[in-house]
Amino acid sequence: MSDHSFESMRRAMVASQLRTTAVNDARVVAAMREVPRERFVPAAQAAFAYTDRPVPLADGRSLNLPMATGRLLTATAPRPADRALVVGAASGYAAALLARLVASVVALEEDAALPAIATAPPAENVTGAIGPLAEGWAAAGPYDLILVDGVVEAIPDALIDQLAPDGRLAAGLADRGVARLVIGRKAGGGFGTAAFADVDGVPLPGFARPPVFSF
């Protein structure tokens, strides 16, 4: 498939999947129009890079839907001076998008079967990190923006603790069988989230909901 074909598919993705689903931040839309998503999936899956569904990567993991990533990015309102952390960086697509929107990005992944984000970051202002996703990457924090690019059962305190004052965190959150996109902000020592969309996002490992004990 030619570069021209991929460019046409990218434009179609923006028109049919992003602009119709409240991905309306001009900078986010521009980044998703320009970053070649096909380079972040296995060659055998390149033809499906712009479809409205998860794209298989390796070891049971998938690249999140374009709409889900776009909605999460839009909700965080990236600013040029922000320091960002991508949790579940996978093949580096979300990190490549954020690299165009913020000052610096840490791309965290724990799955060695995925492309080596730590040794081949997608942009000069992206630093790869390997470690448990639920623990975040405190060494480079605090962060103005944390993007959890997938669906988790719970948002761990470790990630919230790595937010700077007034920092924003966006994630997909599993809620009784439904995946909901949520946005949260750290303010006054507290943190709360608000749901803004239901989505068929990809699950991330290592975020089991803490057990609830009753007596």
Q: Is the pLDDT of residue 1 over 70?
A: no
Give me the chain's average pLDDT, please.
91
Range of the domain at 68: 53-198
**77 domain-assigned:** yes
User: pLDDT at position 193, please?
Assistant: 93
- Alpha helices of the chain — where are they, by DSSP H? 3-13, 26-34, 66-76, 93-99, 157-161
Q: What is the pLDDT of residues 2-56, one digit of tens each?
A: 777 999 999 999 999 998 999 999 999 999 999 999 999 999 999 999 999 999 9
Measured CA to CA, the distance from residue 147 to residue 196 in angstroms comes to: 15
78 within some domain: yes
Q: Say whether 213 sits in a helix, a strand or coil.
A: coil
Q: How confident is the model at residue 164 (pLDDT cuts 50, 70, 90)?
A: very high
Q: pLDDT tens for residues 176-205?
A: 888 999 999 999 889 999 999 998 889 998
For residue range 104-130, list pLDDT tens digits in order.
Answer: 999 999 977 676 565 567 889 999 999
Task: Look at residue 144 and tell me if it is in a domain.
Answer: yes
Residue 193 in domain: yes
Q: What number of H helices and E strands is found in the chain?
A: 5, 9
Number of domains in the chain: 1
- The single residue listed with the structure tokens 């639920």 is 134
Contacts of 30 (CB under 8 A, 6+ apart): 100
- The whole-angstrom distance between residue 198's C-alpha and the CA centroid of its chain comes to 16
Q: Does residue 211 lie within any of the structural domains?
A: no
- 176: CATH: 3.40.50.150
Q: Would you state the structure tokens that stand for residue 131, as one six-digit string?
A: 């470690």
- Residue 140, sorted as left (phi over 0), alpha (psi -120 to 50) or beta, turns out to be alpha
